[in-house]
């Protein structure tokens, strides 16, 4: 979808500008009145990791801003409505994985996204819930933002500052490298925030539905899904990995109008 591409680019540039300005401000340059706008201040996952300490002790984890709690609430509300659209439309780490993936598609052709067996892909998808549990428990016990030492999102925009742990840079490079053979590897297998938001797919108000009566089983919806979901076998897409990117819909990929759509209600299609 062209609109999604432009939105992804816009948010990527916006967040990059915030990160660069914050770094320049700390070095004595930049736009001073925007100095408090940092990666930590505009990251909704910061609200998730600091929520326990905020409720129990009334304190924020170091480096996390109150704005993260507000953003966490807004993103969660959006996810309850339409699913993890933040992941599919806003997150810059997800976007850059897709962009690198386009190179992978040219290199591997039809083998792209098929080099990892489906069963292994599903099992690896469970890892991100382990990462989520680890992050929440360790952060609550240590009162420290431990995840930043392995966070590829932080490394993506801060690698030039000298403040990023080598481990985070290595993970970022690994994620970009894996993006050449499988789309959005971090999102699929390791992202704790994606795991958290993915839960909303089970009860979201508006969901992606496939009309079996008009479906011609071309499986185009499957081939364009960046998360490897088999939309062609679903009535409603309730898969925890869905990022509401809308790439599978009739407006984007499905050749039959009104066959794959984002709709409300609770009735399943046959």
Question: Is there a contact between 262 and 85 (Cβ–Cβ < 8 Å)?
Answer: no
> pLDDT value at position 107?
95
Sequence-distant (6+) residues with CB within 8 A of 154 are: 39, 148, 164, 168
Structure tokens at 135: 């992050």
Question: What 3-state DSSP class applies to 209?
Answer: strand
Q: What average pLDDT does range 2-28 have in this prediction?
A: 87
Q: What average pLDDT does range 153-166 have in this prediction?
A: 91
Residue 63's nearest CA partner among 157, 134, 3, 139 is 139
Q: What average pLDDT does range 136-160 have in this prediction?
A: 93
How do residues 167-211 score in pLDDT, each as one tens digit?
999 999 999 999 999 999 999 999 999 999 999 999 999 999 999
Q: Does residue 127 register a pLDDT over 70?
A: yes
Asked whether the whole model's pTM tops 0.75, one would answer yes
Q: Does residue 270 register a pLDDT over 50?
A: no
Rounded distance between C-alpha atoms, residue 184 and residue 104, angstroms:
11
Residue 152's nearest CA partner among 136, 184, 175 is 175
> pLDDT value at position 269?
43
Q: Does residue 37 register a pLDDT over 80?
A: no
> pLDDT value at position 268?
46
How do residues 17-32 score in pLDDT, each as one tens digit?
988 887 777 666 667 6
């Amino acid at each position: 979808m062209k609109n999604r591409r432009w939105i992804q680019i816009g948010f990527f540039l916006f967040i990059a500008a915030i990160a660069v300005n914050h770094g320049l401000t700390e070095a004595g340059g930049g736009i001073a009145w925007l100095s408090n706008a940092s990666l930590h201040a505009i990251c909704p996952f910061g609200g998730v990791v600091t929520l326990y300490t905020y409720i129990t002790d009334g304190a924020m984890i170091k480096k996390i801003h109150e704005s993260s709690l507000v953003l966490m609430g807004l993103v969660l509300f959006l996810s309850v409505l339409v699913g993890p659209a933040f992941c599919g439309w806003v997150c810059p780490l997800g976007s850059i994985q897709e962009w690198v993936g386009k190179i992978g598609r040219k290199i591997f052709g039809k083998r792209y996204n098929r080099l990892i067996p489906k069963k292994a892909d599903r099992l690896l998808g469970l890892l991100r819930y382990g990462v989520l549990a680890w992050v929440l428990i360790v952060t609550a016990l240590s009162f420290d933002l431990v995840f930043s030492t392995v966070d590829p999102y932080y490394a993506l925009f801060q690698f030039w500052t000298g403040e990023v742990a080598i481990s985070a840079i290595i993970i970022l490079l690994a994620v970009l490298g894996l993006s050449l053979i499988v789309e959005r590897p971090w999102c699929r297998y390791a992202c704790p925030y994606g795991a958290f938001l993915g839960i909303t797919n089970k009860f979201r108000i508006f969901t992606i539905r496939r009309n079996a009566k008009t479906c011609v089983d071309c499986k185009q919806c499957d081939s364009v899904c960046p998360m490897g979901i088999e939309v062609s076998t679903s009535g409603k897409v309730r898969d925890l990995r869905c990022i509401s990117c809308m790439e599978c819909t009739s407006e984007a990929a499905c050749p039959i109008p009104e066959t794959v759509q984002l709709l409300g209600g609770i009735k399943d299609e046959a």
